[in-house]
Structure 1
Amino acid sequence: MTTTLAQHAEAEAARSSAPVTAIAVRDLRMSFAKRGGGSALRPRVTRVAAVDGISFAVKKGEIYGILGPNGSGKSTLIRAISTLLIPDSGEVKIFGLDLQKDEAQVRRLLNRVSVDAAFYKKLSPRENLLYSAGLYGIPRAEAEAKSLEILRRLGLREKAFYEPLEEMSRGMQQKVAIARAFLASPVIVLLDEPTTGLDPKSRRDVQEFVLELRDAHDATIILTTHDMPEAERLCDRIAFIHGGRFVAEGSADELRARVGGNATLEDAFIQLTGDDLHSDDQEDT
């Protein structure tokens, strides 16, 4: 199903000489109830917009970055695209499939890595990955060989493949989460702050692996981050998100050019959003 849909979209684009649109988001809106004020018996409840009318498109084989501080709405957006949250309104299409009408088919096309990846911590990376592979119908021997290959590529010692996850550092656990996401060779990968909290070597290992997968397997990737060098290194295009809205979009060079002079990407973000990228006074949404 995955290969057929992707190939069909590519063939249609080739006939029309147009790039393949892998992800299309139109006027997406999501809000949450927030309590504040009033009394204990009759608290005041207001609606807070987490995603406020976002529209964008990602081409097949592109790495698209969403850059913003905690609380800007980037994680909520990723959860909506991955079918974990139901939008209040708007439309998301994956290779032409409607996110809500064709949810089962859409889920076969994508995988997600988040900063809070969940595992069976008493089990080893091998056991966790073989369990996940079974859910996708991947033969056991193939899954074990592929899992070990990916983890080696990410710099994980082979001995650690058989040790309980609870005994590993967060960086090691995140590498296992990335291996799990790519085990089934998804057409689309949603990376939600995948390198947050990793040491510099682990961060570089993950970044190189992401680039390799895009180049070797033509995967389409959305990356959320607040790491400027990471966004510049990995992303073909970047969107600045602030207050649940996209305020600017383009390549790193184009975004810097909008500010002028010798502006850095961080300079561009601050001037275009009026906010500090590293603001951490809110929980991420």
Structure 2
Amino acid sequence: MILSSDASVIDVSEVTRTFVLRRRTGWMRRERSDVHAVRDLSFSVRAGEMVGYLGPNGAGKSTTIKMLVGILTPSAGRMRVAGLDPSRQRLRLARRIGVVFGQRSALWSDLPLRDSFDLIQRIYRIPPARYRRNLDEFIELLDLASFIDTPVRQLSLGQRMRGSVTAAFLPEPEIVYLDEPTIGLDVVSKAAVRSFLARTNRESGTTILLTTHDMTDVEQLCRRVMVIDHGRLGFDGTLDELRTRIGGVRTLRVDLAEPHPPMTIEGAQVVRVDGARQWLEFSSQDSAAPLVSAVAARYPLVDLAVGEPAIEDVVARLYTTDRLPAVPPSRTDPDPAHPPSPVR
């Protein structure tokens, strides 16, 4: 059962997860230290959202997912997933969620892929008619037909990942956690997985929490992103808001009627000239409108386009700043589509 988009399906309130490390400091002495993988973490996700959960290695992303699944128990704080306590009601919750953990497959390596799906159907007690309908649809969307009868151990990484994604969505879970679902995949496999996720989220309303280092995944799939670093939530909002808060540069590409020396425009700098086309960089925190007006008034303009900062550069800057920006109010728009930014 997919809940209404007005309902909150994931609630995390002041959650901390501490690991105890002990290292030898002498012949019979050990020193204890506490490592806070997650600290005072709070956020909520509404039904139908697809949210990117970003952060550098060791930031606490996988620890968060493991607590939401019930594999780990929070050291402090409160978690509710679909109204259940993940660590105390793990078996009940397991039937309502799906999980994909990167290259760690949940499939049976010695069985053909189809037999793995059949086992999942029995484990989750999926009605036969619904199972056949879902499987037929996933075979088409993820292009599984050519290898569905091949043993899993003989599949390529991309084929195994598509199989793992299918296995996670077959029982029609309310919530799916995807931890690096496109890692190591070729361009074709990545496109197939992204298209499938977007369609499933849009048509079935499945809530998806996506952790990834592939920023193209985020740009194409997620309207809302959360960024965690050193166990703390540093940002929660849209990609455009993230670009604005972190700063950086935007690009104005100008097509002139004829070749011209580099333009001189206050607040912008020409960084490249190619015949009648020029590229100007300006601060991402400034509006493009005055710049466009100045170019149109002084030069024979044919066409122009505004380019946003690459999301990889924005997130990299966020990771390397000493102080993370304040967290804005959580976004709750479940629509995964995000139109291009207008000229501001």
So what's the TM-score if we normalise by structure 2?
A: 0.71
Whole-Å Cα distance in 1 between the matches of residues 148 and 310 of structure 2? 40
**RCO greater where, 1 or 2, for CA within 8 Å and sep 6 or more?**
1
| Inter-CA distance 145–227: structure 2 relative to 1 (3 Å threshold) | same
Amino acid aligned to 2:204? H
Q: CA deviation at 1:140?
A: 4.5
Q: Secondary structure at the match of 1:248?
A: strand
2:187 to 176, 200, 208: 200
Map 1:57-72 onto structure 2 (within 5 A).
57-72=44-59
Does 1:143 find its partner at 2:131?
yes
Q: Secondary structure at the match of 1:215?
A: helix
Q: Secondary structure at the match of 2:147?
A: helix
Amino acid aligned to 1:270? A
Question: 1:236 — aligned with what?
Answer: 223
Alignment check: 8 A CA contact 1:189 1:220 kept = yes
Q: Secondary structure at the match of 1:184?
A: coil
- CA deviations on 1:128-170 (whole Å, 9 max, x unpaired) are 11101101112456534532431331122x2411111111111
Whole-Å Cα distance in 2 between the matches of residues 160 and 100 of structure 1? 36
Question: 1:224 — aligned with what?
Answer: 211
Does 1:54 find its partner at 2:47?
no
Q: Secondary structure at the match of 1:174?
A: helix
Alignment check: 8 A CA contact 2:224 2:236 kept = yes
Whole-Å Cα distance in 2 between the matches of residues 29 and 37 of structure 1? 26
Whole-Å Cα distance in 2 between the matches of residues 150 and 20 of structure 1? 27
Whole-Å Cα distance in 1 between the matches of residues 97 and 133 of structure 2? 22
Does 1:134 find its partner at 2:116?
no
Question: 1:279 — aligned with what?
Answer: none
Alignment check: 8 A CA contact 1:134 1:140 kept = no
Amino acid aligned to 1:217? S
Counting helix residues as a fraction of each chain, which structure ranks higher? 1
1:269 to 315, 328, 336: 315
Q: CA deviation at 1:98?
A: 3.4
* Length, aligned pairs only: 261
Question: 1:90 — aligned with what?
Answer: 77
Question: 1:120 — aligned with what?
Answer: 108
| Inter-CA distance 144–41: structure 2 relative to 1 (3 Å threshold) | farther
Whole-Å Cα distance in 2 between the matches of residues 118 and 39 of structure 1? 42
Q: CA deviation at 1:74?
A: 0.4
- CA deviations on 1:51-71 (whole Å, 9 max, x unpaired) are 111111111111111111222
Q: Secondary structure at the match of 1:161?
A: coil
| Inter-CA distance 228–249: structure 2 relative to 1 (3 Å threshold) | same
Question: 1:281 — aligned with what?
Answer: none
Alignment check: 8 A CA contact 2:175 2:208 kept = yes
| Inter-CA distance 227–159: structure 2 relative to 1 (3 Å threshold) | closer
Alignment check: 8 A CA contact 1:26 1:91 kept = yes
Whole-Å Cα distance in 2 between the matches of residues 208 and 169 of structure 1? 20
Question: 2:25 — aligned with what?
Answer: 38
Whole-Å Cα distance in 2 between the matches of residues 136 and 166 of structure 1? 23
Alignment check: 8 A CA contact 1:146 1:183 kept = yes
Alignment check: 8 A CA contact 1:155 1:202 kept = no
- CA deviations on 1:192-223 (whole Å, 9 max, x unpaired) are 11111111110111011001001110111100
Q: Secondary structure at the match of 1:49?
A: strand
Whole-Å Cα distance in 1 between the matches of residues 47 and 171 of structure 2? 18
- CA deviations on 1:103-133 (whole Å, 9 max, x unpaired) are 4433332111111123221101101111011
Alignment check: 8 A CA contact 1:65 1:237 kept = yes
So what's the TM-score if we normalise by structure 1?
A: 0.84
Which structure's CA Rg is the greater one? Answer: 2
Whole-Å Cα distance in 2 between the matches of residues 257 and 167 of structure 1? 46
Question: 1:73 — aligned with what?
Answer: 60
| Inter-CA distance 32–126: structure 2 relative to 1 (3 Å threshold) | same
Amino acid aligned to 1:169? S
- CA deviations on 1:33-52 (whole Å, 9 max, x unpaired) are 22435136433232211111
Amino acid aligned to 1:225? T
> What runs of 5+ residues in structure 2 fail to find an aligned partner?
248-282, 285-308, 322-344
Whole-Å Cα distance in 2 between the matches of residues 248 and 40 of structure 1? 45
Alignment check: 8 A CA contact 2:72 2:87 kept = no
